[in-house]
Amino acid sequence: MKDIAKRFSALFAGAVLAAGVMMGVSPAHAADDSATALPYASTASVGVAAAPSGCTATNVCFWSGTNYSGAGPGQLSGTNPNWAVFSNSACPGGNWENCASSVYNNGTSCSAVLWTSRNYAGSRLTLGRGSGQTSLSSTMNNAISSNSWSC
């Protein structure tokens, strides 16, 4: 009878352990642990999406068409108060000012901030590192005139 009880206990313990693994239960931590994790949250590193073709590292990139198409990519790595100084014959004004319809931040550490007016004024769009917009909103489409970075 003792042998059956031991086998039943071992079987029950194994079932409880298996259920815990399937449900994602993690070991308990001391009450004074400084790190707090959300249930079922992954702590794995999430990779940044691959940049569109032609958009090199450290730059904010922009195209005259949607979906990273058309003229471009134009690429800028610093803060630039006036996009009119960057020529592009495919754009209506002959330069990149008010010509971008899709944008991507391929910077290495900061968010790109795109402005509708020169000298970092007007409406703004902030793009986190490794993110972009394939079709800019009516406020931003063909309206970007300067860029800066926020770290």
pLDDT of 25 strictly over 50: no
Assess contact for 68 and 60: CB atoms under 8 A.
Answer: no
**0.95 exceeded by pTM:** no
129 Cβ contact partners less than 8 Å away, ≥ 6 residues apart: 48, 105, 107, 108, 109, 110, 111
DSSP at 80: B
Distance of CA 20 to the CA centre of its chain: 33
Q: Read off the pLDDT of residues 44-68 as tens digits, 9 standing for 90 and up.
A: 223 356 899 999 999 999 999 999 9
At residue 19, the pLDDT reads 36
- The domains found in the chain, sorted by start residue, are 59-150 (2.60.20.10)
Residue 11 phi, psi dihedral angles, 5° rounding: -65, -45
Q: Read off the pLDDT of residues 93-144 as tens digits, 9 standing for 90 and up.
A: 999 999 999 999 999 999 999 999 999 999 999 999 999 999 999 999 999 9
pLDDT of 43 strictly over 70: no
At residue 89, the pLDDT reads 95
Assess contact for 115 and 144: CB atoms under 8 A.
Answer: yes
Count H helices, E strands: the chain? 1, 7
pLDDT of 23 strictly over 70: no
Task: Please report where in the chains the tokens 């003792």 appear, as a residue.
Answer: 2
Q: Read off the pLDDT of residues 102-114 as tens digits, 9 standing for 90 and up.
A: 999 999 999 999 9
Task: Count the residues in the chain.
Answer: 151
Of residues 102, 81, 84, 64, the one with CA closest to residue 147: 81
At residue 96, the pLDDT reads 98
At residue 87, the pLDDT reads 96
